[in-house]
Structure 1
């Protein structure tokens, strides 16, 4: 499951392991979603941005676990798999230049599925 969630990327695998440990510390319920191939860490009362965030192959959230949101987050897991740990820097740089619905990584993941409104 770990290899599948991290998309075969060693760097993303390390990020996923750290994210899962962090989620355990925050007392999250951790389940593996077989359809999307991602760990869903729910029940967290904070420690993530917006409605949730994906680190490697782990999605951290409180209750934001509907299928369309997971479809959005799995694209982010793919982006982690493609870019490895450097994705964190790429995403943050993009977010500083083009925040929220203008962020190209969010656009690629599907704004509607992620709960974004274009403005």
Structure 2
């Protein structure tokens, strides 16, 4: 499951393991979603941005676990797999230049599935 969630990327695997540990510290219930190939860490007391966020192959959230959101977050897991740990920097730089619905990584993941309204 870990290799599948990390899309085969070694650096994404390290990020995923760290994210799972972090999620457990925040009280998450961790399950693996077979359809989308990601760990879903729900029930967290905090420690994530917006309605949730994906780190490596782990999606962290309080309760935002509908299927369309998981589809969106699985694309972010793919992005982590393609770019490795450097994706965090790439995403943050893009978010500073083009926030929220203008972020190209959010657009690629599907704005509607992620709960964004196009700007």
TM over 0.5: yes
2:46 and 2:101 map into 1 onto residues whose CA distance is 22
Match of 2:96 in 1: 96
Residue 83 of structure 1 and its aligned partner are, at CA, apart by: 0.1
Q: 8 Å contact 2:6–2:81 — kept in the other structure?
A: yes
Match of 2:14 in 1: 14
Residue ranges of structure 1 left out of the alignment (5+ in a row): none
1:118 and 1:109 map into 2 onto residues whose CA distance is 13
Match of 1:27 in 2: 27
Q: 8 Å contact 2:27–2:45 — kept in the other structure?
A: no
Q: TM-score, normalised by structure 1?
A: 0.99
Q: Post-superposition, which runs of at least 4 consecutive aligned residues in structure 1 deviate over 2 A? A: none
Deviations 1:40-85 (A, max 9, x none): 0000121000000000000000000000000000000000000000
1:82 and 1:118 map into 2 onto residues whose CA distance is 25
Alignment of 1:68-87 (within 5 A): 68-87=68-87
Q: TM-score, normalised by structure 2?
A: 0.99
Match of 2:60 in 1: 60
Residue 105 of structure 1 and its aligned partner are, at CA, apart by: 0.1
Deviations 1:10-32 (A, max 9, x none): 00000000000000111100000
Match of 1:46 in 2: 46
